[in-house]
Structure 1
């Protein structure tokens, strides 16, 4: 199945996340938000310590 990401290529990550929460985007997001990297994270909590920083309204997690 093909997905047209053209309308979302130049959107900010914040705007794309908003559209995902509203259910407008319900398909894979690879290739959206030109200039940003996409990553998936799966972390166990058992022995990790997290440091949380807010930079430009984005929450960054640093696991040590």
Structure 2
């Protein structure tokens, strides 16, 4: 088995409603997760602000 190349260290904070902040080691600004479009309709929520969902980041990472 290969040696460990990287260990991701992060801290997650829950905001108002569906909003989440992920603080990654080595970066000053958090990554914001929330809901928008069909996702907020599916969950029946209306956030103060539309924010990319966790799913958006996953699709972008796999497709990019």
Using structure 2 for the length normalisation, give the TM-score.
0.24
Query: Higher relative contact order by CA 8 Å / sep ≥ 6: 1 or 2?
Result: 1
**Structure with the higher fraction of residues in helix conformation:** 2
